[in-house]
Structure 1
Amino acid sequence: MTSPAQLPVRVGVFGLLGSGNLGNDGSLEAVLAYLRAEHPEAAVDALCGGPEIVTSRYGIPATRLHWYRGEYRTASRAGAIAGKGLGKLVDAARTAAWVRRHDVVIVPGMGVLEATLPLRPWGFPYSLFLLCASGRLAGTRVALVGVGAAPITSRVTRALVRWSARLATYRSYRDALSRDAMRSLGVDTARDEVYPDLAFALPTPRASAPPGPPGPVCVGVMDYHGSDDDRARAETIHRRYLDGTTRFVRALVEDGRPVRLLIGDEVDRPVVAAILDAVPSPLVTAAETSSLSELMAEMAAADSVVATRYHNLVCALKVGTPTLALSYAAKSDALMDRMGLAAYCHPAREVDADRLLDQFRSLERRSARLRQTLVERNLIAERQLARQFADLTAALFPAAARIPVHAMPEEP
């Protein structure tokens, strides 16, 4: 008979994984690599947005995050509204049951404590609160690992995020701004650490940008409509972003530069299509990427990168390609500063194609020096993430923790 001490530790991973966002999936990939290297005995499964994709791509069992399949569609009819409402109750029971089957649950990276993009409180913030509350009630250790956070104006969202963070067993952040944001919400962050984004732990493809005349430029686009506070102006912000980015791409083509359009989420595809329609040139092509590894391979072959999505920036910086950020949130500015490229940020909500082109030309003039800076900063990030994973093991996998909480005999 197997004793409790011989049972494998049961680890769950949680989040909007397998849902089309390459950054979220890259964070999951980094955590799975850590678990397989340091805790190969662990039995791992997921509660996530796209269970079929997570299972086929990463080889772990996965369960759908929401009972109601239309959770992220706007509900206008009575049936859909009722389905969403019932789904909230069902999800509370489903989440609690799933959490109880685990010894440890990890939320790998992602901006789970922020609302820098449009976000409803009863969507993911509610799901995260259910997770953390269930963990506290069941005695399951819940870890928010390398997550992003930001100030939140919505009172309900802010309350859900605050309590999620307070109820978690372990917290670490991908930048100091995130830790400061949680401290401002009243969360005790005295023991919380800051580390580079988890995606910096992924394998790095070898740079392959050819020497000689100016080569390709990767332009990472985003279906950008402003922040959660910009809903009334969302279409105006989106049109300004698209027009400015399109003018920039057209200017590159007029200079004879090949342009590769990249996405970071499936929702970005209409932006790529709009730019291809507006700039019908054989110099402009769209890359088909389904992972951060494929994104990095594209960026390693480029002379320069101009990108909007946070994890597009991470990929470009990680492979050492000079990068200009179309920044939509403070997290992008903080990332660029950490990697020594603070001067190369441009506001996504006010894209000025002429000024952007000037910044881009300055970036390319300093290319050799910036590549050396990125080599040095990446070595620092690599060492810091090794410490992140060592700290995570100490916090979540101590020897006593190998006896599953729910397998322990009850006190008489």
Structure 2
Amino acid sequence: MTAARGGEAGVTAERGGEAGKSAARVGVFGLLGSGNLGNDGSLEAVLRYLRAAHPEAVVDALCGGPEAVTSRYGIPATRLHWYRGEYRTASRAGAVAAKGLGKLVDPFRTAAWVRRHDVVIVPGMGVLEATLPLRWWGFPYSLFLLCASGRLLGTRIALVGVGAAPIGNRPTRTLVRWSARLAAYRSYRDAPSREAMRAMGVDTARDEVYPDLAFSLPAPSAPSGQGGTVCVGVMAFHGGNDDRARAEEIHRRYLEQTIRFVRALAADGRAVRLLSGDGVDAPVVAAILDAVDSPLVTAAEPASLADLMKEMAAADTVVATRYHNLICALKTGTPTLALTYAAKSEALMAGMGLGEYCHPAREVDADRLLEQFRALEQRSAELRRTLPVRTLDAARRLEDQFTALTAALFPSAGHAHATREAS
């Protein structure tokens, strides 16, 4: 057994002896290890579940960043795409040809990987949405290959706690719809996600809604924000898939108004800690630091959701854009204001009793944002009492998610568990 960092998320990586012959072969799939902390947090949550409920399982990954996944979580990992430059813009003829060849090779690679497993889990993530820019021939195509391979080869594909949203682009919508239909198990991280899939023609009558998987991760022992620090979680935000024509305009406004907001906080003597949730956010952090020349404004370099939570637990207030930045803030019980770009963030905030503290990321207005921020801080003491209760409830509901997952994907294990409980 190879131990993950900290010894917390590791699961059996190699088969051996008689026990290995009966161990379930479990794959995890997605844009994991590619720099997005939210995606990796979802993976960590599922690995923790497998380690606790199915320690005998033999686990590996097909993912975007196999080296990072193996290094951090101690499981074997294979590159998601044959072509290494899949997510880089292909401008030269050779790159275009290689990317096209990869689309022909990947179905065979994906099927060969799926065949080796009893179960494949897609852990959380917004895999059924297009709230950020993407092309149908990118991840939607990869997800369809996974689900189609599972159906053809008899491997159970589970979309666990995933996000979904209405999709305007027809090819993307078609691939997403068929991916969902071909999966053996589906659950969603919020009610709007289930409704979006129902509206796309997927039968969701048996699909359940649970909190986001990241709510099952451990949080710092107790919030300690007493120093006046404000954590501002930023994002390389350019709108969604349907905003491509306005992408630069949206990004420019987002950045300019965020700079104004941070500058105003610094002028009031507040320490500001800039946070990100993906490597692509680094230029936004750098631009704010350059524009707001103040020793009160600093930046962190979080490598995990745990790092984000440590920063946020020490803050008085959090203002953030990325969905999993919001979850980290809420997990620590810190009063939070959301710059929202999709229904998932609005649903999350409403469920935590913070629906009035949402601000549109596409139309950031620094003056209005400051008003909301000050109103939020006036309720700080109250929210520090109520948020821990709500997040604890979310964590408990995720125990039901994992119980349902065992029953659906590991029926013999679920039966054995029930028998032990009855004896």
Aligned to 1:7: 22
Give runs of aligned pairs for residues 243-262 of structure 1, distance below 5 A.
243-262=256-275
Inter-partner Cα distance in structure 2 for 1:400 and 1:16: 29
Give runs of aligned pairs for residues 12-411 of structure 1, distance below 5 A.
12-211=27-226, 215-399=228-412
User: How much has 1:7 moved relative to structure 2?
Assistant: 2.0
In structure 2, the gaps of 5 or more residues are 1-15, 416-423
Partner amino acid for 1:45? D
User: How much has 1:209 moved relative to structure 2?
Assistant: 2.5
The percent identity for this pair of structures is 79
Inter-partner Cα distance in structure 1 for 2:58 and 2:327: 30
Inter-partner Cα distance in structure 2 for 1:133 and 1:15: 15
Partner amino acid for 1:16? L
Inter-partner Cα distance in structure 2 for 1:167 and 1:228: 24
Inter-partner Cα distance in structure 1 for 2:293 and 2:224: 25
Inter-partner Cα distance in structure 2 for 1:52 and 1:292: 19
Q: How many residues align?
A: 400
Tell me: CA distance 1:3–1:291, structure 2 relative to 1, closer, same or farther (3 Å). closer
Kept after mapping to 2: 8 A contact 1:218/1:304: yes
TM-score w.r.t. the length of structure 2 is 0.93
Tell me: CA distance 1:4–1:254, structure 2 relative to 1, closer, same or farther (3 Å). closer
Aligned to 1:218, the other structure's residue is in SS state: strand
User: How much has 1:399 moved relative to structure 2?
Assistant: 1.0
Kept after mapping to 1: 8 A contact 2:188/2:209: yes
Inter-partner Cα distance in structure 2 for 1:47 and 1:6: 22
Kept after mapping to 2: 8 A contact 1:144/1:172: yes
Kept after mapping to 1: 8 A contact 2:223/2:334: no
Inter-partner Cα distance in structure 1 for 2:222 and 2:228: 13
CA offsets, 1:280-327, max 9 Å, x none?
A: 111000001100000000000000000000000000011100000001
Aligned to 2:10: none
**Aligned-residue RMSD, C-alpha:** 1.5
Partner amino acid for 2:362? R
User: How much has 1:207 moved relative to structure 2?
Assistant: 3.0
Partner amino acid for 2:24? V
Inter-partner Cα distance in structure 2 for 1:232 and 1:318: 36
In structure 1, the gaps of 5 or more residues are 403-412
User: How much has 1:378 moved relative to structure 2?
Assistant: 1.0
Kept after mapping to 2: 8 A contact 1:206/1:300: no
Inter-partner Cα distance in structure 1 for 2:317 and 2:254: 20
User: How much has 1:235 moved relative to structure 2?
Assistant: 0.5
Aligned to 1:326, the other structure's residue is in SS state: strand
Higher RCO, 1 vs 2 (CA within 8 Å, ≥6 residues apart): 1
Partner amino acid for 1:97? A
Partner amino acid for 1:69? R
Inter-partner Cα distance in structure 2 for 1:52 and 1:271: 26
User: How much has 1:210 moved relative to structure 2?
Assistant: 4.6
User: How much has 1:4 moved relative to structure 2?
Assistant: 9.9
CA offsets, 1:154-204, max 9 Å, x none?
A: 000000000000000000000000000000010000000000000000001
Partner amino acid for 1:364? E
User: How much has 1:144 moved relative to structure 2?
Assistant: 0.1
Kept after mapping to 2: 8 A contact 1:209/1:215: no
Kept after mapping to 2: 8 A contact 1:339/1:377: yes
User: How much has 1:380 moved relative to structure 2?
Assistant: 1.3
Aligned to 2:87, the other structure's residue is in SS state: coil
Partner amino acid for 1:145? V
